[in-house]
């Protein structure tokens, strides 16, 4: 996201160097009112920075790898998820207090998890929580990440990251400055 006008950044290759790309706020005809054209940043180091930060976060043991997460800005989906999760908690309380049998608990729990997975598919366009199955050690997390296809990596990023804000450069030096980047986390 552009740190000046908060518009979405687009990627484009660097002229004459098809293997290098940049993210930029591109001002095109019809978009002058929404895109300032004032932000640009090297693509490869930005992608590496975001990936490293995501892998660090995934290496933390507190990140849920099972419960589907619903993004902010989707109030109906968030409400539905909250209702389902509340019912699952109530179900667990009823089971642990002996009010319902184990078989009934397992059947109802499976239905609740299925409903959350369907909501996840509807919300994210992926059938499962992209974090499911991720290990917790840094080396293992990196190995799993590198084995994922691009669609799955994007799904993981959508679950964890709300925004990547690129602030204006302090100087016009031709080097990547990670201090310009601000990550808005969901997790």
| Residues 72-85 pLDDT 10s | 556 787 788 788 88
Residue 126 has pLDDT above 70, yes or no: no
| Residue 134 neighbours by CB under 8 Å, 6+ apart | 58, 63, 65, 141, 144
With bands split at pLDDT 50, 70 and 90, how would you rate the model's confidence at 31?
low
Q: What is the mean pLDDT of residues 109-134?
A: 74
Q: Report pLDDT for 184.
A: 92
Residue 171 has pLDDT above 90, yes or no: no
Q: Which of 33-37, 73-77, 161-165 has the lowest mean pLDDT?
A: 73-77
Residue among 139, 186, 142 at smallest CA distance from 162: 186
Q: Which of 51-65, 69-83, 111-125, 166-180 has the lowest mean pLDDT?
A: 69-83
Residue 3 has pLDDT above 70, yes or no: yes
Residue 68 has pLDDT above 50, yes or no: no
- Contact by Cβ (8 Å): 78, 50: no
Q: Which of 105-109, 126-130, 137-141, 167-171 has the lowest mean pLDDT?
A: 126-130
What is the pTM for the complete model shown? 0.63
Q: Tell me the three-class secondary structure of 35-64, residue by residue.
A: CCCCCEEEHHHHHHHHHHHHHHHHCCCCCC
Q: Report pLDDT for 57.
A: 87
Among 9-18, 77-86, 95-104, the range with the most confident prediction by mean pLDDT is 95-104
* CA torsion, ordered 144, 150, 155, 159, to nearest 10 deg: 60
């Amino acid at each position: 996201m552009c740190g000046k006008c908060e518009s979405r950044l687009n990627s484009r290759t660097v002229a004459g160097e098809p293997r290098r790309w940049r993210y930029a706020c591109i001002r095109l005809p019809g978009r002058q009112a929404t895109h300032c054209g004032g932000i640009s940043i090297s693509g490869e180091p930005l992608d590496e920075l975001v990936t490293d930060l995501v892998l660090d976060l995934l290496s933390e043991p507190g990140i849920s790898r099972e419960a589907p997460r619903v993004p902010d800005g989707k109030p109906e989906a968030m409400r539905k998820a909250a209702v389902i999760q509340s019912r699952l908690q109530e179900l667990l309380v009823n089971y642990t207090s002996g009010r319902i049998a184990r078989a009934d608990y397992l059947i109802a729990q499976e239905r609740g998890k299925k409903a959350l997975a369907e909501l996840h598919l509807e919300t994210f366009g992926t059938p499962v929580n992209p974090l499911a199955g991720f290990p917790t050690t840094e080396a293992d997390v990196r190995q799993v990440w590198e084995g994922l296809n691009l669609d799955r990596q994007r799904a993981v990023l959508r679950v964890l990251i709300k925004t990547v804000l690129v602030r204006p450069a302090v100087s016009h030096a031709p080097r990547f400055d990670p201090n310009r980047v601000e990550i808005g986390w969901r997790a």
